[in-house]
Structure 1
Amino acid sequence: MAAPAEVTIKDLSGKWVMDKNISTPADPVLSTQGVNWGLRKTIGMITLTLDVKQTVEADGVTFIKIDQIGTGGFKGTTEERRLDCKLKEHVDSVFGTVNGCTRWINLDQINDPFPIEYQNTPEDIKFLTEDWIEDDCEKGGPNGEKHIDSFVRNEKRAWTARQIWGFSMIENERHYVRRVVVKTLNGKTVHHVKLVYNWKP
């Protein structure tokens, strides 16, 4: 189901179901991220729902908690993101130990540095910034930002992932989308991933 017009990046609270038919296949990406074969196959067979709770904390910083729930009772990862662009360590059962940060962003800020080493290529930038809805009605951040930008680095498994969140028109419907660049630290393997979600009322 298309996202309602009133649901924007300002508050993603609700349930979002991944549309596997129009999203990038996960298995090659998960393999690069060091996820074991059995878990990859399980993830490939289920449908993931994101249960999102987005709030603004007392200090004015946006906080997002996302529980991933799979069909058949599969328990995925829990994402906790504080949009202050401060480095934080996170450990989960799928992706291991990562260090990362999350921030509000407009696309003209895509090259602003993170507090952790990361290299963009022109191909990465093109992929991360294309095909978004950029109308004023999509503004949601404290300074009118239309996107969320998140980056993580896994030293042990030797990969990074950067993702931009926002809304896109796909098959004439408005959807919540994540565009993700996953790459090995040596840069030899790069995945450009599009994850598309349907609104679940």
Structure 2
Amino acid sequence: MAHCKAPEQPMPIPTASMAHLKIQSPDPSSPASRPSMQDPNGTWLLEKHLSSNIPLLLKLQKIPFLIRHAITSSPVHLILTQYTETDAKGQAQTHLDLIQRTAGTLSLPVIEDKRVLDWVEREHEDIVFGKLLTRSVFVRGNVSDKGAVRPDLEVNVRVREGQEVIERFLRGEIDVDGGQTDGFLVEEEEGVETGADEGGKGLWVHTLEINEKSAWRAETVWGFEMVKGERYLTSRVVVANGKGKYQLGRMVFKFLSRED
């Protein structure tokens, strides 16, 4: 998503395949049953009217106009599958598989992105974003001077002007226009192995994508936020090119169903 790194700125589903996709709102009285960063499994719909700057992000990533138009004019579904496997050294690793599809007359191939949340650099290639070097990891939060808990991460995207804005946006302190915001919800489930610092608060997914050929970097923080009074999965993204120009964006996803 390929943050998955604001909108102008993070594939269609055939009509027949969409017939069984029904809205399935989790019971708010039962937090354990609703999607979380430890269990985001299910199908999500990109709510474009709540998102911001998607076209601008794609343009800065040098995505061709027809592909940008297909993404911005068609419904976009994201299927997330998170699971744990043991590596060759016997260590447990959290995997996060992302499948992105569009639905509509402007069809794009399905994008599949398989991540391991260990911050190890891996190669990925797809028809939209090209050949990438990617990293992903769980992060915890720390407490600010004002008592707010924000994701504790080292920002890799570097620009000559606007670095503080980028860092405050990715941590959820401000929105894409620079205004103050409540930011990410601080949520976590007890007894769930994540590999993140167990002494920290909250839980988020931090990703980085580098396209060396097109000279851009995209950095993303995934979490949950309250948007217009409802809880959504969001990805806060910053994309920067080799000339130091950058764009902020936020993608907002509505939970549809545990079934894909």
Q: TM-score, normalised by structure 1?
A: 0.89
Matches of 1:2 and 1:169, distance apart in 2: 18
Aligned to 1:110: 153
Matches of 1:61 and 1:83, distance apart in 2: 7
Q: Is the 8 A contact 1:132 1:168 kept in 2?
A: yes
1:52 counterpart = 2:108: no
Identity over aligned pairs, percent: 23
Q: Is the 8 A contact 2:45 2:255 kept in 1?
A: yes
Q: 1:194 aligns with which of 247, 250, 256?
A: 250
- C-alpha change, 1:107 and 1:2, in structure 2 (3 Å) is farther
- C-alpha change, 1:156 and 1:132, in structure 2 (3 Å) is same
Q: 2:211 aligns with which of 137, 154, 169?
A: 154
- C-alpha change, 1:84 and 1:191, in structure 2 (3 Å) is same
SS in 1 for 2:92: coil
Q: 2:223 aligns with which of 155, 166, 169?
A: 166
Matches of 2:140 and 2:25, distance apart in 1: 21
- C-alpha change, 1:46 and 1:10, in structure 2 (3 Å) is same
Moved over 6 A (4+): none
Matches of 1:124 and 1:25, distance apart in 2: 15
More strand by share: 1
1:119 Cα deviation from its structure 2 partner: 2.4
Q: 2:158 aligns with which of 106, 109, 119?
A: 119
SS in 2 for 1:146: strand
1:139 Cα deviation from its structure 2 partner: 9.4
Matches of 2:211 and 2:249, distance apart in 1: 18
Letter in 1 for 2:170: L
Deviates more, 1:66-75 or 1:35-44: 66-75
1:12 counterpart = 2:40: yes
1:132 counterpart = 2:184: yes
Matches of 2:42 and 2:170, distance apart in 1: 24
Task: Figure out how many residues of one structure are paired with residues of the other and give that number.
Answer: 196
1:127-156, CA deviations, whole angstroms, 9 ceiling, x for partnerless residues?
Answer: 011100014559963344510000011111
- C-alpha change, 1:3 and 1:158, in structure 2 (3 Å) is farther
Counting only pairs closer than 5 Å after superposition, residues 66-81 of structure 1 correspond to structure 2 as 66-72=98-104, 74-81=108-115
Q: TM-score, normalised by structure 2?
A: 0.69
Matches of 1:123 and 1:168, distance apart in 2: 19
Matches of 2:191 and 2:256, distance apart in 1: 22
Letter in 1 for 2:222: W
1:79-137, CA deviations, whole angstroms, 9 ceiling, x for partnerless residues?
Answer: 2110011001111100011112001112443127xxxx642721111101110001455
SS in 2 for 1:38: helix
- C-alpha change, 1:8 and 1:39, in structure 2 (3 Å) is same
Matches of 1:79 and 1:127, distance apart in 2: 25
